[in-house]
């Protein structure tokens, strides 16, 4: 674990920090607040992970809390809460948990995923700092939120879901990893060819129609009368695989429905796609 945390530290150092944060980090290193609002869990690994982000969150006496804990979510692959940032400023707020994978022998895959998570969190923090900056003449209240959870954890698979809320929009991001082969699964990799796009899209439209018929409070955009109707899924559409080996397709808020519908998901019947699958190891 110590070696992996050290590698994460190196990857973190190599990720470019937004220019706006450069001076903040420098000041934080030179003038540490007398009263830090950083909570470190009493384990060596957790402390090592938490200190990596200290310079960014220790920007002033009202700085956010940063914490790190390491819950085990699988026998081999672990999810680390790399850092948790919480701050309120000028009626704006930010609460962001940055996840990191640990335990993969495929270090290239692990590092690339962790770099992505770190960059996302830095971008969110930068948006928050921009909204609350004294130089910002156009003041607005911004609530930034990001969290993650493990939606699937089996001997073969792990699927991690990260949700990001920014400017009233909600985005869901999933990664699904084959634990035994230590490879990242893509939607395209599950199928023999691109026929899955049309087949899955048609099934989703049928589900939309059925849901709207059964529940008048549900609305989806898929007819020609709609301004931006859903036509088909993207080749790399957001997805995950359940512990029962079912494929679930996910759409962000506003992507295929009005905002009040939030993030929408559709479980695809295996019978609809069985003849298109490369095999039945993941979906059956």
Which pLDDT tens digit goes with each residue over 105-141?
899 999 999 999 999 999 999 989 888 887 765 667 8
For 9-22, what is each residue's pLDDT tens digit? 454 445 444 444 44
Q: Enumerate the H helices of 174-276 as residue ranges.
A: 195-214, 270-273
In this prediction, residue 90 carries a pLDDT of: 79
Residue 136: per-residue pLDDT? 66
Cα 251 from chain centre: 14
* Rounded-to-integer distance, Cα 204 and Cα 201, Å: 5
Q: What pLDDT sits at residue 185?
A: 96
Question: What is the per-residue pLDDT for 138?
Answer: 66
Measure CA 284 to chain center. 26
Tokens in use for 283?
Answer: 């979906």
Q: What does the pLDDT read at residue 225?
A: 82
Question: Which pair of tokens denotes residue 29?
Answer: 């290193």
The model's pTM? 0.72
Residue 168: burial class (beta carbons within 10 Å; 0-12, 13-18, 19+): exposed
Whether residue 53 contacts residue 82, with contact meaning beta carbons closer than 8 Å, is answered with: yes
What does 74-89 look like in DSSP terms, one character per residue? SSS-EEEEEEEEEEEE
Residues of the chain with pLDDT under 70: 1-76, 136-139
Nearest to 70 by CA among 54, 82, 86: 82
Compute the distance between CA of residue 122 and CA of residue 120 in angstroms, rounded to an integer. Answer: 5
Give pLDDT, residue 258: 93
User: What domains sit in the chain, N to C, each tagged with a CATH number?
Assistant: 2-184 (3.30.565.40), 188-276 (3.90.640.20)
User: Whose structure tokens read 């700085």?
Assistant: 63
């Amino acid at each position: 674990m110590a070696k992996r945390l050290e590698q994460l530290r190196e990857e973190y150092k190599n990720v470019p920090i937004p220019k706006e944060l450069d001076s903040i980090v420098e000041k934080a290193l030179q003038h540490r607040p007398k009263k830090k609002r950083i909570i470190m869990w009493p384990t060596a690994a957790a402390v090592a992970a938490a200190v990596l982000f200290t310079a960014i969150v220790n920007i002033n006496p009202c700085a956010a809390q940063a914490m790190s804990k390491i819950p085990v979510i699988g026998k081999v692959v672990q999810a680390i809460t790399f850092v948790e940032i919480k701050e309120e400023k000028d009626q704006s707020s930010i609460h962001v948990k940055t996840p990191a994978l640990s335990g993969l022998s495929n270090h290239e895959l692990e590092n690339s995923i962790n770099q992505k998570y770190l960059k996302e969190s830095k971008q969110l923090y930068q948006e928050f700092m921009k909204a609350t900056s004294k130089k910002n003449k156009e003041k607005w209240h911004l609530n930034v939120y990001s969290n993650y959870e493990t939606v699937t954890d089996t001997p073969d698979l792990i699927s991690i879901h990260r949700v990001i809320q920014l400017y009233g929009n909600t985005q869901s991001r999933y990664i699904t990893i084959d634990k035994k082969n230590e490879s990242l699964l893509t939607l395209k990799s599950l199928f023999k060819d691109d026929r899955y796009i049309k087949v899955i899209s048609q099934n989703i439209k049928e589900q939309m129609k059925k849901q709207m018929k059964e529940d008048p409070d549900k609305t989806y955009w898929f007819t020609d009368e709609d301004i931006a109707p859903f036509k088909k899924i993207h080749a790399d559409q957001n997805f995950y695989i359940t512990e029962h080996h079912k494929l679930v397709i996910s759409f962000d808020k506003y992507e295929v429905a009005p905002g009040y519908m939030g993030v929408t998901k559709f479980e695809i019947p295996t019978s609809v796609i069985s003849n298109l699958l490369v095999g039945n190891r993941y979906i059956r």
